[in-house]
Copies of this chain bind each other. A is one copy, B any other.
Amino acid sequence: MADIKAVITEYLAAVASGDASKVAALYADEATLEDPVGSEPNRGRAAIEAFYGGLQGEISTELLNARVAGLEAAFHFRVITKAGDATYTIEPIDVMTFDESGKITSMRAFWSPEDMVVG
């Protein structure tokens, strides 16, 4: 079975790289992405790559906690984005499902705008 914690680590590194195609490559073809939870999900890898195309500035990520149960996981992490003089910090909890090869089949990001810290 895929090493789910390793995939999560790879995912956060890909987000920090700012390279949308690198992030999208971790998803299965027909994956869904709902960020934040309650918004209309993005469906399929092309839509997912377009979503991550919004990544801008200098990004760093840090895994705070991960809980894996079979081919599903929930993990708490920090994303710091520096854009111009501003720094945006957000610490979502993401829930992901994976296929047997470790590709992400769904992602749901739990956060709300009030969780964003601007410094």
Contact = CB atoms under 8 A, between A and B. Distances in A.
Interface string A65-76: 101111011111
Given A69-B109, A95-B95, 7 more contacts: A37-B69, A37-B72, A65-B91, A67-B92, A69-B111, A69-B112, A76-B93
17 contacts: A36-B69, A37-B69, A37-B70, A38-B72, A65-B91, A67-B93, A67-B110, A67-B111, A67-B115, A68-B110, A69-B109, A69-B110, A69-B111, A69-B112, A73-B110, A75-B93, A95-B110
A110 B70 CA distance: 10
B72 A74 contact: no
Given A67-B110, A110-B68, A74 B91 contact: no
Contacts of A76: 65, 76, 93
A6 to B, nearest CB: 15
Contacts of A109: 69
A90 to B, nearest CB: 10
